[in-house]
Structure 1
Amino acid sequence: MTFLFHAKESCAHAVRRLGSQRIDHAIAALAEAPRSEKAVHDARKSIKKARAIIRLVEDGLEGVGRLDRRLGRVARQLGAPRDALVLIQRFADLQRGHRLGAAGDRLAEAFAQQRVATETALQAALPQMLEALAEVRRRVKRCDPSGGWALAWRGIERVYADAAKAHRRAQRSRKATDLHRWRRRLKEQWYAIRLLVPAWPEALQPLNQELSRLSDTLGLNHDLHVLGTEIRRRETDRDRKRTLLRSLGVRRESTSAEALRHGERLYAEDPAAYARRLHRYWRLWRDEAP
């Protein structure tokens, strides 16, 4: 199921089509295979896309805040087991570089137990999550954002400006919270570009791929930060804790420097100029479409 604008559809139709499709996909995945790691991950990604299309037209959509909060709550619940699994995987990577012995085994077991607890909580909450998704789907299918495509283009400019602002803040502070905030804004920008790729694939597909890679780099940085937080909380040996945190710090510094360097190029353009350029691509595509 593609996440793309169609050349001749109205903005309101695009929002209803894309939003309801992604929520339908999330519901189907969870209903058919609620214990499947892949199904849960696919459902979470679909919800993020639904949130992205809703936020794109938030200025002209009544009650958008409530819809976004409900989808966000479900996405966080779905994300907890995967976050726990990623913690296990990142710690396994760290173990390969350090001889931790029994202490490492104890930490690994604690992380495994944490994953089981999150999976149990997810299964218990699943009926309420499906109910919430069904309600949001009903509202999205009836929504009628006012403002037409001009509304969407204001949204595209806004998400770029928000991402650029978050990048500047992360560049100044280098804090994990600011880097993670930038990643959230960058993913909104990425989803907007994915919608527009058909307008000029030769130009926009490379940008789409670059945003995907950058999101992965920032995601790794966040994973390492979370692992460091857990080691600070759980590791009792001071020397071992210091060694592990130093190793994680080196990797985090490398990934953050790489991401911030790419961001300087990514946000070299003024938001209004960026939106005008993409709008020209889109307008030519629509004019040429049969």
Structure 2
Amino acid sequence: MTYRLKRSDKSTEAALRRIAIEEIDAALTELDDPGIELHEKVHGLRKRAKKLRGLIRLVRPAFPAYARENGAIRDAARRLSGLRDREGMVETFDKLAAGGRLSGFEPVRAHLVATRDRAAAKAHVEEDLAAFRLDMLALRERARSWALYGDGFRPMRRGLQRTFDRARKGRAAAAEAPEVAVIHDWRKRVKYHWYHTRLLRPIERAPLGRRAKKVAELSELLGDHHDLAVLDTHLAATPDLPGGTETRDALRARIAARQADLADAAQTLGARLFASPAKDLGRSWKRWWKSWHRD
């Protein structure tokens, strides 16, 4: 595991630089690997970008270059979003079908596959990958001289607590108004907290390992909800969908039912994970940090 703090890091600033460069190098290796299928490659590269954004968000209040670098990573990943969304719709359809909720919708899947393949065949895909590579190389060069205000746990504590608090408030907002945009925003906050838990896991392996697993489960539930929303939007906006209006309405009804189940499960799990105030979490994790370094 490379996406984590190490006792051998000379400072929090050194850890930030090391982890960022390791993730960038891993992205470049995947990008240049001809053995990785295109859709899998794009998915992997976008995950690397999200991990990088999670990393700098942990130290956001103490990282003067945050706005510039967050924007740069976001824009680099955005180049690949169209292709990933089309592949994601096929995966989402298959996941929905695997749950026994679909029968007789094979022409719709064929339509989704054809839409994905047309996007992959366009010349700009290779151009976008090349541009992503240049973005990562430039980011790597800048990461070598990233600077933080302060050292130890302090540069991380405010970012950790802020992200946790936003995830906590996001759960409450989604419970009050379980709309697609609100649940998607909650999902983003949960994802960042998952990254922070993974980064800090070495300071207290057992409880943070368990927490990382549960937060990952929550992120998966919310991610499935979002993927279904993307598929539903595509179906609603496709006038020539195989099967016509009747097929579209039947499939969208199944999507809505599954989203309701996912939202309920996410609320049950999220209520346990985000029960305590952010300051309580900050105090506990600071104690673990001190003990980790003392040992």
Give me the TM-score of the superposition, normalised by structure 1.
Answer: 0.90
**Which residue number in structure 1 is paired with residue 41 of structure 2?**
39
| Aligned residue identity for 2:18 | R
**Which residue number in structure 1 is paired with residue 3 of structure 2?**
3
Cα distance, 1:4–1:244 mapped onto 2, change above 3 Å? same
Instruction: Quote the Cα distance in structure 2 between the aligned partners of 1:89 and 1:53.
Output: 28
Once the 2 structures are TM-superposed, how far is the Cα of residue 239 of structure 1 from its aligned partner?
3.2
Deviations 1:96-121 (A, max 9, x none): 644546xx51x334322321243333
Instruction: Quote the Cα distance in structure 1 between the aligned partners of 2:46 and 2:233.
Output: 24
Once the 2 structures are TM-superposed, how far is the Cα of residue 287 of structure 1 from its aligned partner?
0.5
Q: How many residues get paired?
A: 285
| Aligned residue identity for 1:88 | V
| Aligned residue identity for 1:125 | D
| Aligned residue identity for 2:66 | V
Once the 2 structures are TM-superposed, how far is the Cα of residue 274 of structure 1 from its aligned partner?
0.7
**Which residue number in structure 2 is paired with residue 124 of structure 1?**
127
1:55 to 57, 60, 69: 57
**Which residue number in structure 1 is paired with residue 77 of structure 2?**
75
Cα distance, 1:49–1:109 mapped onto 2, change above 3 Å? same
Deviations 1:37-95 (A, max 9, x none): 43333322222111111122222222321211121122233343333222113334556
Give me the TM-score of the superposition, normalised by structure 2.
Answer: 0.89
Instruction: Quote the Cα distance in structure 1 between the aligned partners of 2:62 and 2:102.
Output: 54
**Which residue number in structure 2 is paired with residue 205 of structure 1?**
209
**Which residue number in structure 1 is paired with residue 222 of structure 2?**
218
**Which residue number in structure 2 is paired with residue 258 of structure 1?**
265
Cα distance, 1:2–1:94 mapped onto 2, change above 3 Å? closer
Asked if structure 1 preserves the Cα contact closer than 8 Å seen for 2:6 and 2:15, the reply is yes
Alignment of 1:115-194 (within 5 A): 115-119=116-120, 120=122, 121-149=124-152, 150-194=154-198
Asked if structure 2 preserves the Cα contact closer than 8 Å seen for 1:197 and 1:204, the reply is yes
Cα distance, 1:69–1:117 mapped onto 2, change above 3 Å? farther
Deviations 1:230-276 (A, max 9, x none): 22222473333322222111111000110011111111111011111
Matched, 1:279 2:282: no
Asked if structure 2 preserves the Cα contact closer than 8 Å seen for 1:3 and 1:195, the reply is yes
Asked if structure 1 preserves the Cα contact closer than 8 Å seen for 2:80 and 2:128, the reply is no
**Which residue number in structure 1 is paired with residue 31 of structure 2?**
30
Asked if structure 1 preserves the Cα contact closer than 8 Å seen for 2:157 and 2:282, the reply is yes
**Which residue number in structure 2 is paired with residue 112 of structure 1?**
113
Asked if structure 2 preserves the Cα contact closer than 8 Å seen for 1:217 and 1:255, the reply is yes
Cα distance, 1:94–1:262 mapped onto 2, change above 3 Å? closer
| Cα RMSD after superposing both structures | 2.0
Asked if structure 2 preserves the Cα contact closer than 8 Å seen for 1:190 and 1:208, the reply is yes
SS in 1 for 2:5: coil
Percent identity of paired positions between Structure 1 and Structure 2: 26
Once the 2 structures are TM-superposed, how far is the Cα of residue 176 of structure 1 from its aligned partner?
0.9
Which deviates the most, 123-132 or 29-38? 29-38
1:244 to 248, 251, 264: 251
Cα distance, 1:165–1:4 mapped onto 2, change above 3 Å? same
Structure 1: state its 5+ residue gaps: none
Instruction: Quote the Cα distance in structure 1 between the aligned partners of 2:37 and 2:128.
Output: 12
